[in-house]
Amino acid sequence: MFAKIDRPRSDASPGRNDAAAIEIEGLRVRYGGLVALDETALSIGAREFVSLLGPSGCGKTTLLKVIGGLIRPSQGTVRIHGGSVEEARRRRAFGFVFQDPTLLPWRNLSGNTKLLAEIIGGNALDLRRIAELTQLVGLKGFEGSYPSQLSGGMKQRAAIVRALAFDPQVLLMDEPFAALDALTRDRLGEVLLDVWRGEKPVVFVTHSIEEAAFLSDRVVVMTARPGRVLEEVPIDLPRPRTSELKETREFFEVTRHLRRLIDQAQRAAREEV
């Protein structure tokens, strides 16, 4: 059982009607002779959870890294809260969570969760916030444990706390649960929604149709390389979401539509070979 902390939440649900936090226009990314992304445009609301879904190699991670300033596009523009990616990086606007939690083995859990906030310094190091996040993800009592003493799911929860510890404006997640077993993966999805609570935009890369449908306000389905937006699918399912939602007909209909789109993208890729 994960601990939950009651916190105020805006009455307005996150969605596309919010002022755009991330705006992408005419994006193209080329690696030598290989075009990874082409003609990509996307707008993400200020409190919206958006998943990127598509065939392997379609450019999902590339798009995520362009948004976070880790890859420079060949052409096109990316705006973060109205400014450039470079400006966003200078003000530490991004929190990253990757598939590998990359915890420092010589730091205990508490030290790892505080790491980025300590590096940034000043008001970024909010010990009350870190303690609240640690409790919210179910790690209270393990603050003194080292990575070698933690399970894979516990390490990834620590990585989520580390990414959110300094209260970034945007959370970017690249298949953070892919290496975990199905049960842990499902439970961490619920934990992530508890932590997020519609307070900031999330861009989430996944290969799992069910995961994308469960977590997201909108799923962006991408074509095979070169990656383009095939369709943007709004997920009109009620929040808060629990595992019981996955047993409903509405959830089944959403995942069926997403699966058809993925099949369409994969067929198109085979036809081009």
pLDDT of residue 10: 33
pLDDT of residue 154: 96
**Is 50:232 a contact under the CB 8 Å cutoff?**
no
**Is 71:139 a contact under the CB 8 Å cutoff?**
no
What averages of pLDDT result for each successive group of 10 residues across the chain (273 residues)?
34 52 96 91 96 92 96 96 95 94 96 94 91 94 97 96 95 94 92 93 96 97 92 96 94 97 80 55
Domain boundaries along the sequence of the chain: 1-93+169-181+198-273, 104-167
Nearest of 214, 212, 221 to residue 238 by alpha carbon:
214
CATH superfamily of 1-93+169-181+198-273: P-loop containing nucleotide triphosphate hydrolases (3.40.50.300)
Residue with tokens 């649960």: 177
pLDDT of residue 2: 33
Residue with tokens 């900031």: 200
Residue 228 neighbours by CB distance under 10 Å: 18
pLDDT of residue 176: 94
Q: Measure the CA–CA gap between 41 and 27, rounded to whole angstroms.
A: 6
The DSSP-derived string for the chain is ----------SSPPSTTSPEEEEEEEEEEEETTEEEEEEEEEEEETT-EEEEE-STTSSHHHHHHHHTTSS--SEEEEEETTEEHHHHHHTT-EEEE-SS----TTS-HHHHHHHHHHHH-GGG--HHHHHHHHHHTT-TT-TT--GGGS-HHHHHHHHHHHHHTT--SEEEEESTTTTS-HHHHHHHHHHHHHHHTTSS-EEEE-S-HHHHHHH-SEEEEEPSSSB-EEEEEE----SS--GGGGGSHHHHHHHHHHHHHHHHHHHHHHHH-
Strands 75-80 and 20-31: antiparallel
| CA distance between the termini of the chain | 48
Burial class (CB in 10 A: 0-12, 13-18, 19+), 51: buried
- Between CA 202 and CA 211, with CA 205 as vertex, the angle to 5 degrees is 90
Q: Measure the CA–CA gap between 68 and 93, rounded to whole angstroms.
A: 9
Q: Measure the CA–CA gap between 101 and 33, rounded to whole angstroms.
A: 32
pLDDT of residue 272: 59
pLDDT of residue 33: 84
Burial class (CB in 10 A: 0-12, 13-18, 19+), 90: exposed
